[in-house]
Amino acid sequence: MVSLSSISATRVTPEGIGVTGESLHAYHKVVPIIENVTDIKLLNFRKDEKIAYLTQTTLSVTETEDIIRALTEKYPNITAPPGKDICYATTNRQSAVRALAKVSDIVLIVGSKNSSNSTRLAETARAENIPAYLIDSANDIDSTWLEGIATIGVSAGASAPESRVQEIARYFENFGAITEEFTTIHETTRFAEPLELTAIKKRHRSEKL
């Protein structure tokens, strides 16, 4: 089976390189990296060949839908992942930032510049036709961004610490801004405890008896 890994619409990320490298090293199979719909035209697999695709978990949901649609049009029998590759947290954050951008004059995304999911959040906000900037801390804020701005939306990448977000909030509060929480989705997803951890906890409880 040949796997097609749909990575980033703007750049190949370390995660994507890792997937292709593992496939080549462990299975001696070359995994094409699809960055955009145009790349699909270059694929020369037979239509009856067994093909599957994967998506990076931190992709833009909208861009991924376009790529998957083009893949399935060219290869109608292509196999999709058993579950959604783009994690629920990424999907929820992009939806929240899209809604936040609609009520803001500018959006600041707290996160590292080499973070794929943080970059996607900034791109999601810009898609709503407002300025959006990726910052690591309050020190990265350029005062010229805020000229004529009334409402500033602040969100963060999945790996950004909450303390950094609060730091940004305090930065604006020191200038007299009023901060309020903007909630669009109440997450209810729960993850099962790893079996290894469950076994360790049971063993510790039995040892105490």
136 Cβ contact partners less than 8 Å away, ≥ 6 residues apart: 110, 111, 112, 113, 164
- Of 21, 27, 23, 14, which is closest to residue 57 (Cα–Cα)? 14
CA 29 – CA 21 distance, rounded (Å)? 9
User: 77 — phi, psi (to 5°)?
Assistant: -100, 10
DSSP 194: P
Q: Is 49 a catalytic residue?
A: no
> Of the listed 15, 35, 128, 167, which one is catalytic?
15
117 Cβ contact partners less than 8 Å away, ≥ 6 residues apart: 58, 90, 93, 111, 157, 158, 159
Q: Which residues are tagged catalytic?
A: 15
